[in-house]
């Protein structure tokens, strides 16, 4: 399976949620909270059933949101599952890889620290 960068997933999920929220706010006249809630509940397939679109364009927009949003939401869930399985199987996940990389950089910086360099000397505090 191809790895999809988290930035891309988060950006797309944010775009779908923002687009759906704005759409329902203006097309259905709902509050921002109701529009956001409906969008998230719809793309996550929870579907509480209230509010529901009353206009034809709102109903069509909902079907478009389902097709677009469900795909993005499913990819996000899939990536979370892949990361979890990789960690379970001994492959460090994204967060652990980032922490290791940061630790290596920090270690490398301290390896090249000269004794005459007092920038990191705790006695300077």
Q: Is the separation of the CB atoms in 76 and 9 below 8 Å?
A: yes
Place of tokens 């529009």: 35
pLDDT at 1 over 90: no
Mean pLDDT of 103-123: 60
Mean pLDDT of 43-57: 87
pLDDT in tens, 12-29: 999 999 999 999 999 999
DSSP 3-state assignment of 28? coil
- Architecture of 6-111 per CATH? Orthogonal Bundle (1.10)
98/92 Cα distance (integer angstroms) = 10
Alpha-carbon dihedral 104, 80, 9, 12, rounded to 10 degrees: -150
Is pLDDT larger for residue 82 or for residue 43? 43
Q: Is the separation of the CB atoms in 80 and 74 below 8 Å?
A: no
Whole-number mean pLDDT of the chain?
A: 81
Radius of gyration of the chain from its Cα atoms, rounded to whole angstroms: 23
Q: Is the separation of the CB atoms in 47 and 69 below 8 Å?
A: no
pLDDT at 80: 83
């Amino acid at each position: 399976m191809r790895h999809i960068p988290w930035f891309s997933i988060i950006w797309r999920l944010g775009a779908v949620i923002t687009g759906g929220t704005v759409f329902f706010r203006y097309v259905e006249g709902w509050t921002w909270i109701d529009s956001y809630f409906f969008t998230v509940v719809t793309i996550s397939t929870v579907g509480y059933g209230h509010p529901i679109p009353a206009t034809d364009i709102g109903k069509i927009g909902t079907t478009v949101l389902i097709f677009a949003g469900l795909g993005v939401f499913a990819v996000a869930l899939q990536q979370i599952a892949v990361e979890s399985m990789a960690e379970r199987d001994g492959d460090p996940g994204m967060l652990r890889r980032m922490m290791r990389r940061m630790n290596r950089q920090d270690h490398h910086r301290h390896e090249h620290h000269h004794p005459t360099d007092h920038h990191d000397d705790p006695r300077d505090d």
